[in-house]
A and B are shown apart, each in its own frame.
Chain A
Amino acid sequence: MEITVEVNGQSHTADVEPRTLLVYFIRDAVGLTGTNIGCDTSSCGACTLHLNGEAVKSCTMLAVQADGQQVTTIEGLANGDELHPMQQAFMNCHALQCGYCTPGMVMASVSLLDEIPSPSEAEVREGLEGNLCRCTGYHNIVKAVLEAAGGAQ
């Protein structure tokens, strides 16, 4: 089935099997490998990207469901060489260790601040419950999200 998805502002058309998962379409057909596949069971959040501006887990969506929709991946956040404020905050706060969960964490965090612009620490922790960091680097991740929200010291 032929689908057309707008990924990071660019239109991509490809012929996919209906059973193709969105994350494979993004990685293999579009060629953007920043979106990671972690648990593949909608638990870990490594594959989080934005569908029409909202964080979703791309391992639990079919590519055909995204036909005609807008997708933003981690590659689409920065403005040229200028990092997105959330990416900058992750850098400032050393909010990554091995980095595997980071693209999903950043995408989930941006979506979180869209819905709750000035979250409390508890709201950040709850808002990121769909993303696992196996380095257990949560403390600095939460600090980064609070910094990006303008609430950090």
Chain B
Amino acid sequence: MIPVAFDYVRAGSAEEALAALAEHGDEAKLLAGGHSLLPMMKLRLAYPSVIVDIGRLSDLSYVNDAGDHLAIGALTRHRDVETNDLVNEHAPLLAQATAHVGDPQVRHRGTIGGSLAHADAAADHPSVFLAMDASAVVKGPNGERVITGADLFGGFLESTLDPTEMITEIRVPKQTGQGWNFQKFNRRAQDWAIVGCSVQQTNGSAQVALVNMHPTPVRAAAVEAALASGANAADAAEQAPEGLEPSSDLNASVEYRQHLARVLTRRALNEAGIA
């Protein structure tokens, strides 16, 4: 399978990438690791006429201790996130979930910023982003803005980024010593989750996000509300599908996804230390 022909621009800096996006607008797509974009282009589900390759912007690959949060460069590859000491110490949920992304070859190429910008509700990172209440630093023609949590996700496979903007950094609040867990259910190794669940405890309250249970990445608001009003983990987890609209496909019916959401949420809560 070969993508539709396109013009190729290799950006030497974030500024060059932004200039190319400003010039080409909707017609252009950023290429980071390429492990979401290229498969879509090969299937011709995406056919940008200009590809702006930002894969060599090594100054956007880093993990820094920024006091109350970790600052992670958007072009940090999954493997580097997964094995980073700071991530394992202060954001273990992110480290664990990243180890479940694709397979080693995919993790050598795919980037955290690319994964979030792709905004796939079936991907692992958006649920971690939501459960950890992380933020994305976004640069565009009008300067820089910071988008936190669910505000990053607009619709099915759609972020709230403007076509002329790019994510430059992910900010993950430190959660040292707090309970956390990531659950993922799939039928084959390396597959997307049929359903998944991220749980992050923060000073007594629990933030719960689900994978592949809604057209967008989503927090399990009903579970969080039940826990906040004193329900135990098993009862709260029963609320997991509440208000959500999972899809039905070859892997699972709506009912099966709802069942998985309850079971995986209960397991994730228990593993995170919530009884």
Residues on A lying within 8 angstroms of B by beta carbon are: 1, 17-21, 40-43, 45, 48, 51, 54-57, 60-62, 64-65, 108, 111-112, 115, 127, 129-131
Contact = CB atoms under 8 A, between A and B. Distances in A.
B108 A56 contact: yes
23 contacts: A18-B6, A41-B1, A42-B35, A42-B102, A42-B105, A45-B105, A48-B105, A51-B108, A56-B105, A57-B105, A57-B106, A60-B34, A60-B39, A60-B106, A60-B109, A61-B34, A62-B34, A64-B53, A65-B34, A65-B53, A129-B189, A129-B190, A130-B104
Interface of B: 1-8, 10, 31, 34-35, 38-39, 42, 51, 53, 55, 79, 102-106, 108-109, 189-190
Residue in B104, B106, B109 whose Cβ sees the most chain A Cβ within 10 Å: B104
A51 B31 CA distance: 17
Nearest to A42: B39
B109 A130 contact: no
Contacts of B5: 17-19
CB-based closest 7 A-B pairs:
A130-B103, A18-B8, A129-B189, A54-B108, A19-B3, A130-B105, A57-B105
B38 A40 contact: no
Contacts of A131: 103
Interface centre among B8, B39, B103, B189 (most CB of A within 10 A): B103
A101 B55 CA distance: 28
B106 A55 contact: no
Contact of B38 (A61, A112, A115, A127): A61
Contacts of B53: 64-65
Contact of A21 (B2, B7, B10, B190): B2
B98 to A, nearest CB: 14
Nearest to B108: A54
A23 B8 CA distance: 18
A108 B190 contact: no
Contacts of B34: 60-62, 65
Given A57-B105, A130-B190, 20 more contacts: A18-B5, A21-B2, A42-B35, A42-B39, A45-B103, A45-B105, A51-B108, A57-B109, A60-B39, A60-B106, A60-B109, A62-B31, A65-B34, A108-B105, A112-B104, A129-B104, A130-B103, A130-B104, A130-B105, A131-B103
Contacts of B102: 42, 130
Contacts of B8: 1, 18, 62, 64
Contacts of A61: 34, 38, 109
Nearest to B189: A129
Contacts of A45: 103, 105
Contacts of A21: 2
A42 B2 CA distance: 13
A127 B55 contact: no
A57 B190 CA distance: 14
Contacts of A51: 108
A1 to B, nearest CB: 6
A111 B103 CA distance: 13
Contacts of A62: 8, 31, 34, 38
Contact of B2 (A1, A19, A60, A130): A19
B259 to A, nearest CB: 26
Taking each of A19, A41, A61, which has the highest tally of chain B beta carbons within 10 Å of its own beta carbon? A19
B1 A56 contact: no
A88 to B, nearest CB: 22
A28 to B, nearest CB: 12
A61 B273 CA distance: 41
A55 B6 contact: no
Contacts of A41: 1, 39, 42
Nearest to A55: B105
